């Protein structure tokens, strides 16, 4: 899809786009929740879930909380149908 191409080329910020879509199309903000943190050889890895209307949409992980949130937002944009 067009969104996947733009995300892959880093032409759009997934968190901002998800915020815009969820607010405009659904009238609600998205909510990020830290699920857990794991320790690896590379350091801490954050696992985050994003929800819209109280329903979990997608998860993401990253070595920084912000990166985990961006990964969750990107996954949500690819699976969530904004009506």
Q: Tokens representing 20?
A: 């815009």
pLDDT tier at 13, thresholds 50, 70, 90:
confident
pLDDT-derived band of residue 40, with 50, 70 and 90 as boundaries? confident
Eight-state DSSP code of residue 1: -
Measured CA distances, 44 to 17, 34, 38, 47, 73 (Å)? 27, 13, 6, 10, 20
Confidence of residue 83 (pLDDT cuts 50, 70, 90): low
The CA-based angle 55-37-54, given to 5 degrees, is 10
Joined tokens for residue 36: 């857990």
Q: What is the pTM of this model?
A: 0.81
Q: pLDDT value at position 1?
A: 56
């Amino acid at each position: 899809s067009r969104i996947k191409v733009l995300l892959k080329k880093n032409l759009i910020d997934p968190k901002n786009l998800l915020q815009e879509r969820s607010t405009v199309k659904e009238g609600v903000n998205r909510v990020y929740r830290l699920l857990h943190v794991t320790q690896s050889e590379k350091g801490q890895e954050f696992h985050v879930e994003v929800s819209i209307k109280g329903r979990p949409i997608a998860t993401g992980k990253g070595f920084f909380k912000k990166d985990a949130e961006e990964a969750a937002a990107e996954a949500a944009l690819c699976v969530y149908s904004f009506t």
